[in-house]
């Protein structure tokens, strides 16, 4: 048996990863540590509750006591726990610094004391900042634009420092924009799919021509798991989907898949500091033997269908505290 600590495992990618690990590795146990912020959701882990190889601990990665309890006996740590939404980071940067930088440090300290075999820090392509041309590779310098991406850059730099200074076997992944089931409906794709299903306007920022590289969540999980097992300690790996699209292309695809009117498209005031384009060079991970398996068209159709079939999951979220968030973000826009 190997035991993996999955922090932030009640969130979007972390919960998909917990399912992936338990399915893919029959001899692994998964311990999930999650604070259950607004983005953490036990519904995402519902079907694991009877699995004897799964354990859930509610707690904050900034709290050394609960981190020690969760990490005890673990071979691997995969740190997904973070504040993750750029727009929220513009309103409240402090909580991002606390969790994404300080929380990562608390985990690294514990990992050093326990002597874990691997610590994987889940980072993002946003640390490179906007790239108008070409593709970011792992040697490029970091130019984060938002409090979110600056905090993520801080977290991964701390992880690297623990490798360089203490020899902790750290690996870092920089993933691109991710989509799929169980994504909190504040991010572009689940927000627009669920708004379209409710016939509510789709708020496109600025001219809608900002570009992102999109990866399906199961590909992102598989890429992370591949790096956990095959990456070289101290190294960074870009994990991209190779699907670059403007926000307008994504918006039109969603409306097409749901057979909804383009009258729902509403241009709103742009996000401050909005990065124009992210694009990853994934040659390093390809050379190691991994590339994504899902086609963008099929995975988007699957994703849209999942939100169509699982109204129970997102209607619960949208009926609570969310209404206040939506008014704050979009009310005056």
Binding site for ligand TYD (CB under 6 A): 86, 126, 177, 187-188, 191, 203-205, 210, 212, 247
- The nearer residue to ligand TYD, 247 or 303, going by C-beta atoms, is 247
CA–CA separation, 292 and 21 (whole Å): 17
Which residues in 99-112 are b (16+ Cβ under 10 Å) and which e? bbbbbbbbbbbbbe
CA–CA separation, 246 and 235 (whole Å): 30
* 126 tagged catalytic: yes
* 87 tagged catalytic: no
60, 83, 126, 213: the active-site residue = 126
Please state, as a whole number, how many other Cβ atoms lie within 10 Å of the Cβ of residue 229: 12
Binding partner of 212, given ligand TYD, ligand NAD, none, CB within 5-8 angstroms per partner class: ligand TYD
CA–CA separation, 87 and 39 (whole Å): 14
- The nearer residue to ligand NAD, 14 or 203, going by C-beta atoms, is 14
Instruction: Say which DSSP state 316 is in.
Output: H
In the complex, minimum distance from the CB of residue 183 to ligand NAD, in angstroms, rounded to a whole number: 7
Integer angstrom CA distances of residue 232 from 106, 163, 226, 267: 23, 11, 11, 45
In the complex, minimum distance from the CB of residue 125 to ligand TYD, in angstroms, rounded to a whole number: 9
* 60 tagged catalytic: no
In the complex, minimum distance from the CB of residue 242 to ligand NAD, in angstroms, rounded to a whole number: 15
Integer angstrom CA distances of residue 53 from 75, 158, 198, 269, 301: 14, 31, 38, 47, 32
Matching residue, tokens 């993750």: 84
Binding partner of 36, given ligand NAD, ligand TYD, none, CB within 5-8 angstroms per partner class: ligand NAD
Binding partner of 88, given ligand TYD, ligand NAD, none, CB within 5-8 angstroms per partner class: none
Contact call for residues 104 and 159 (beta carbons, < 8 A): yes
- The nearer residue to ligand TYD, 44 or 210, going by C-beta atoms, is 210
Binding partner of 203, given ligand TYD, ligand NAD, none, CB within 5-8 angstroms per partner class: ligand TYD
17, 148, 162, 278: the active-site residue = 148
Q: What residue ranges bind ligand NAD (CB under 6 A)?
A: 7-8, 10-14, 34-37, 39-40, 60-62, 80-84, 99, 103, 122, 124, 152, 175, 177-178, 184
Contact call for residues 6 and 18 (beta carbons, < 8 A): yes
- Please compute Rg for the chain using Cα positions: 19
Q: Catalytic residues, which ones?
A: 125-126, 148
């Amino acid at each position: 048996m190997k035991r993996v600590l999955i922090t932030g495992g009640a969130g979007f990618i972390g919960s998909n990863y917990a399912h992936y690990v338990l399915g893919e590795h029959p001899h692994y146990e998964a311990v999930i540590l999650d604070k259950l912020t607004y983005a953490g959701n036990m519904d995402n882990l519902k079907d694991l509750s009877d699995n004897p190889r799964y354990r859930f601990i509610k707690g904050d990665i900034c709290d050394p006591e609960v981190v020690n309890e969760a990490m005890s006996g673990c071979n691997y740590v995969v740190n997904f726990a973070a504040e993750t939404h750029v727009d929220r980071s513009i309103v409240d940067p402090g909580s991002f610094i606390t969790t994404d930088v300080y929380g990562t440090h608390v985990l690294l300290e514990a990992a050093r004391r326990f002597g874990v075999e691997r610590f994987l820090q889940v980072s993002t392509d946003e640390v490179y900042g906007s790239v108008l041309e070409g593709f970011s590779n792992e040697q490029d310098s970091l130019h984060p634009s938002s409090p979110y991406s600056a905090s993520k850059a801080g977290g991964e730099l701390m992880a690297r420092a623990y490798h360089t200074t203490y020899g902790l076997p750290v690996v870092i992944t920089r993933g691109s924009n991710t989509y799929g089931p169980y994504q909190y409906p504040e991010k572009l794709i689940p927000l627009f799919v669920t708004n379209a299903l409710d016939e509510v306007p789709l708020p496109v920022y600025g001219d809608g021509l900002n570009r992102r590289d999109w990866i399906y969540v199961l590909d992102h999980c598989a890429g992370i798991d591949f790096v956990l097992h095959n990456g070289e300690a101290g190294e960074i790996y870009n994990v991209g989907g190779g699907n670059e699209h403007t926000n307008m292309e994504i918006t039109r695809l969603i409306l097409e898949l749901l057979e909804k009117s383009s009258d729902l498209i509403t241009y709103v005031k742009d996000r401050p500091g909005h990065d124009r384009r992210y694009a990853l060079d994934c040659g390093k991970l390809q050379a190691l033997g991994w590339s994504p398996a899902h086609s963008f068209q099929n995975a988007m159709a699957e994703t849209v269908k999942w939100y169509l079939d699982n109204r129970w999951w997102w209607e619960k979220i949208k009926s609570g505290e969310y209404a206040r968030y939506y008014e704050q973000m979009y009310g005056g826009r």
